[in-house]
Homo-oligomer: A and B are copies of this chain.
Amino acid sequence: MATYAERLHSAIARKRTPALVGLDPRETSLPSEIRAAADRHGLDANARRAWAYEHFCCRVIDVVAPLVPAVKPQVAFFEDCGPAGFQALAAVIRHARNAGLFVIADAKRGDIGSTAEAYASAWLAGEDPEAAPFAADALTVNPYLGPDTLQPFVQTAAARGAGLYVLVRTSNPESGVFQELLCEGRQVYQHIAAEVERLTESSGRDGRYGSVGAVVGATYPEELAQLRALLPRSPLLVPGYGAQGGSGSDVAAAFDAEGLGALVNSSRGILFAEQRDEYRELGAANGWEAAVEAATRDFIEDLRRHTPAGRLG
């Protein structure tokens, strides 16, 4: 069986870009066409929203699948639609896989012992889409409860060729309050990074990289370089591109010299491109999907020009 890093890096090499499209379907930002179609379904409010999210995300997938290696559904928005939202999410994940995309479920789960096993088993399908009800290739997880609570995720991931992204460093306004506390000469997030490095050492590896990655926010480029050094074997997931403020040159330090080792995520900047000044005219003339496509191409080009990802070909 191929390891997560092998599978991920061959997906990146095929598309020649580490661009990751986040699927965050906020109701009020959806294209008016999708909202009108959902309204005509006359379902209850939660089912209507779930329908809109599924159809919007599947159409985004159809646009971006030829261009990028992976998508990242944000589970919270589907969860807020109740059971119908999870049916929609499962359908979106299936659609993405059938389109040849890697799926990273952004669920930020975490719990102890057999409860963590249940979460791992729910989300980590890896190579076999039948192996989990929500058939993701990788999952984001929260480390606060302790390293033993990550082990069930690591084991399930290794068994299925799936991957993990442990929350190490985030870029929200008060992310530093706990993450930057200084303990025994290192900040809390650096202690967590050291644990992630230990876990990935013991996980299945493709040459340099293991299957235990890290989420590292892109607020300070120098911090990204430091985390790349602390986590030499971890695939990184870098949110914060575009709508959250970062740009290509800000995330360059996340990559190795070959342009591998990281995925950079953009969500709102792609999904709702028709609402951005740069793409408004195009969207009005050719539809919102044309704006999504143009924004995705520009995202890819920015990463190609300003990061080592340009060496992917």
Contact = CB atoms under 8 A, between A and B. Distances in A.
Contact of A184 (B24, B83, B146, B182): B182
Interface string A104-144: 00001111111110110110000000000110000000111
Interface residues of A, number: 57
Contacts of A175: 145-146
Interface in A24-68: 24, 26, 46
This protein's copies in its complex:
2
Contacts of A182: 183-184
A280 interface: no
A80 B122 contact: yes
26 contacts: A26-B114, A46-B133, A76-B115, A76-B119, A76-B122, A77-B118, A80-B118, A83-B86, A83-B90, A112-B170, A112-B172, A142-B142, A143-B144, A144-B167, A144-B178, A144-B179, A145-B167, A145-B170, A146-B170, A146-B173, A149-B174, A177-B195, A178-B191, A181-B188, A181-B191, A182-B183
B85 A133 contact: yes
A74 to B, nearest CB: 6
A188 to B, nearest CB: 6
A176 interface: yes
A152 to B, nearest CB: 10
Contacts of A114: 26
A148 interface: yes
A81 B87 CA distance: 12
A145 B183 CA distance: 17
Nearest to A172: B112
Contacts of A174: 146-149
A62 to B, nearest CB: 22
A77 B116 CA distance: 9
Contacts of A82: 86, 90, 122, 133-134
Nearest to A27: B118
Contacts of A113: 172
A252 interface: no
A77 to B, nearest CB: 5
A83 B133 contact: yes
Contacts of A146: 170, 172-179
A32 B183 CA distance: 50
Given A24-B115, A142-B142, A143-B178, 5 more contacts: A110-B142, A145-B175, A146-B176, A146-B177, A181-B191
Contacts of A6: none
Given A79-B118, A118-B80, A133-B83, A181 B178 contact: no
B181 A181 contact: yes
A227 interface: no
